[in-house]
A and B are shown apart, each in its own frame.
Chain A
Amino acid sequence: MTGLELLYSPFIEYAFMKRALAGSVALAFAAGPLGVVLVLRRLSLMGDALSHAILPGVAVGFLVAGLSLWAMALGGLVTGLLVAGLAGFVSRVTPLREDASFAAFYLMSLGLGVLLVSLRGSNMDLLHVLFGTVLGLDDAALLLVSMVASVALATLALILRPLVAECFDPGFLRSQQGRGSMSHMVFLVLLVMTLVAGFQVLGTLMVVGIMMLPAASARFWSGTVVGQMIVASVLGALASYLGLLFSFYANVPASAAIILLAGLFYFLSIVLGRTGGLWQAARQMRARRRQLHPAGS
């Protein structure tokens, strides 16, 4: 097998590899830009926290309707939005900042989830049953994640201008509109939607990882919001592709391989990135020194 064939033959031979690639790339395209917004708003840990807020809803959906993808997704959406909405409301009305109020609500939600699950009596490992794995995608799951990713991406493009304005200078926007912007609420809906769909098909580790790691890496390659979003999507898709290959050839669990590769890209970005990377900083320092002390003086 030639070297080039090594890069694509697993995806041709096995349908599950094709599906895994399609699903994770679709997710990466939507999750990356959303992650960039989270990083900009200094809410980087919200993705992980929201995953805990979503779990009770998914569990309730499962307890009510069994292993129905759409029922569980609906449940997760409801609790996720509830927690995010309540946290936002409390932070607006009281002196408590959004991150602290969010922490309070998601922990309550998690506790409630544990309680609900234990009330039912069954001790089944719900996390394993409820959440998916990248190698186990079926057509319904693929459809769900592709649909959600497309809607999220399209909506994000639509609300990008007010969202950026609200992130950067909320006072300005308020003075122009006479009221706060809806864009933050819409963004939260997109975020919860993407997380819920992602968990259902790919599991929690992969989704939060593919959302935050490329987004954190992107700021080392681009200085504009849109530029960072594009970089994040590309890095996420690349990590998925290479991660799946790595899992195939090196016999490593799939989600872990993808996330570790995304992590590797992060470190490479810190060192080699064009905007603010360590190597570039060192080069600039050397150039400046040469300017101040030209050879021979």
Chain B
Amino acid sequence: MTHCASFLGLSMGWRLKGEAGRISVLRSVLQGFLPALVLALVSAQAAAAPLRVVASFSILADMVRVVGGEDVHVEALVGPRADAHSFEPSPADTRRLAQAQVLVVNGLSFEAWLPRLLKASQFKGQEIVASMGVIPRRLDPSAHDDHDDHDTPEPDAAQRDIDPSISAQEVRRGRVDPHAWQSLENGMIYARNIAEGLSRVDPAHRAAYRERADRYIQEMKKLDTEIRTALAPVKAEHRRVVVTHDAFGYFGQAYGITFIGIMGLSPHAEPSARELADIIQTVRHSQGVALFDENGLHSRLIRQVSRETGIKVGGSLYSDTLAMSDEPADSYLGMFKWNAGQLIYALSPEAKR
């Protein structure tokens, strides 16, 4: 609207004066006109283009999509069904990050490949650490090494903000469980952090982000209550699950379930015969332990435990990735509902023969 009016005035002024007169008209009109034009363009930009956000992996991407709504455009670096632990960024990823305005990462040393990618892309936008404020789960409370590990990359300052009692070394050395999103309480902290971070970059939509985050958190609270109710009849001694790797510690902490990972924190280490034997013994001597595959992948070692103990594999749990779209676990809440459902079914008394 403003453009048309200004243009009309300009052309009219053009016809009325002579050559020299035209130049002076031009100058005065432009001096008044230009700021109005700029303001109009800027507000148009803000109204039309969504924020360009890159999330490190699929679960975070989904959360950003919910909180950001139509005001953001999110891409995940590590997509659904992909492995964030062994991810290798491609040139396309570097480009994507370079053009992004916001980067959302998990933190807690989950993305080991991130520092190099940041350097390569020269990312200058805003970085949001989703797990800021989360109380991390220590993996080995007794261990406390003093000497520095020169091989691992430097953590960002945000890591240390999380919990000053945990040293940067512990985070760096992977002594902290990074799968914090497996607890809905932490999920709420994630949602808050994402909303705050987006608002910092895009203050115009602060209210919208806050509102969506609030609604999201309400849904999480509801789900949390449902899960607790459904798990109530399962006795404490029966709450044991064997999975491929130690990814469900926070879930276990929240609902009082013991998760036994065959391969430790990363899905790539090889267990020793002793570790496998111990797990089999535990399963043999406990009542009603459940066995699960992970991320839709068929695990040879879980099958081995299943064969040796006679317990059938209860299903598949999603640990650090979402399922492909159109599957039940293709969103954060969907994944949570799926995991909880599988676990409740496997652990509840009716499921036992």
Contact = CB atoms under 8 A, between A and B. Distances in A.
Contacts of B307: 15-16, 138
Given A118-B90, A135-B304, A247 B272 contact: yes
B303 A10 contact: no
Contacts of A51: none
Interface in A151-192: none
A4 to B, nearest CB: 19
Contact of B269 (A118, A132, A253): A253
A293 interface: no
Interface in A233-255: 244, 247-255
A138 B303 CA distance: 8
Nearest to A256: B270
B323 to A, nearest CB: 13
B308 A123 contact: no
A16 B270 contact: no
B23 interface: no
A67 interface: yes
Nearest to A205: B270
Contacts of A138: 300, 303-304, 307
Given A16-B308, A247-B272, A132 B82 contact: no
A67 B298 contact: yes
B139 interface: no
Given A123-B79, A123-B83, A247 B274 contact: yes
A128 B268 contact: yes
Interface in B60-109: 78-79, 81-83, 85-88, 90
B273 A244 contact: yes
B277 A248 contact: yes
A196 B90 CA distance: 30
Contacts of A123: 78-79, 82-83, 86-88
Nearest to B299: A136
B292 to A, nearest CB: 16
Interface residues of B, number: 30
Contact of B297 (A118, A129, A137): A129
A135 B301 contact: yes
Contact of B276 (A16, A121, A250, A257): A16
A260 B120 CA distance: 39
A136 B300 contact: yes
A125 interface: yes
A13 B284 CA distance: 12
A125 B273 contact: no
Interface string A114-126: 0000100111110
Contacts of B268: 125, 128
A36 interface: no
A254 B272 contact: yes
Contacts of A256: 270
Contacts of B298: 67
A252 to B, nearest CB: 5
Nearest to A67: B298
Interface in B288-329: 297-298, 300-301, 303-304, 307-308
B82 A136 contact: no
B297 A14 contact: no
A133 interface: yes
A20 interface: yes
Contacts of B304: 16, 135-138
A135 B273 contact: yes
A212 interface: no
Given A123-B87, A125-B86, A253-B269, A135 B79 contact: no
B50 interface: no
A28 interface: no
A225 to B, nearest CB: 35
A17 interface: yes
B271 interface: yes
B301 A136 contact: yes
Interface in A12-63: 13-17, 20
Nearest to A136: B300
Contact of B273 (A118, A121, A132, A254): A254
A72 to B, nearest CB: 13
A124 B85 CA distance: 10
B154 interface: no
Contact of A15 (B78, B81, B87, B308): B308
Contacts of A133: 270, 300-301
Contacts of B271: 135, 253-254
B297 A249 contact: no
Nearest to B277: A14
B272 A251 contact: yes
B270 A255 contact: yes
B163 interface: no
Contacts of A253: 269-272
A203 to B, nearest CB: 8
A253 B298 CA distance: 21
A258 to B, nearest CB: 10
Nearest to B77: A123
A124 B300 contact: no
Interface string B5-48: 00000000000000000000000000000000000000000000
B245 to A, nearest CB: 11
A133 B276 CA distance: 12
A136 B272 contact: no
A256 B85 CA distance: 22
Output the residue of B268, B273, B300 with the most chain A CB within 10 A: B273
15 contacts: A10-B273, A10-B277, A16-B308, A123-B83, A123-B86, A124-B81, A124-B82, A125-B85, A128-B267, A129-B297, A135-B273, A138-B303, A248-B273, A253-B271, A253-B272
3 cross-chain pairs, A with B, having the tightest CB-CB distances, nearest first: A136-B300, A123-B82, A247-B273
Interface of B: 78-79, 81-83, 85-88, 90, 267-277, 280, 297-298, 300-301, 303-304, 307-308
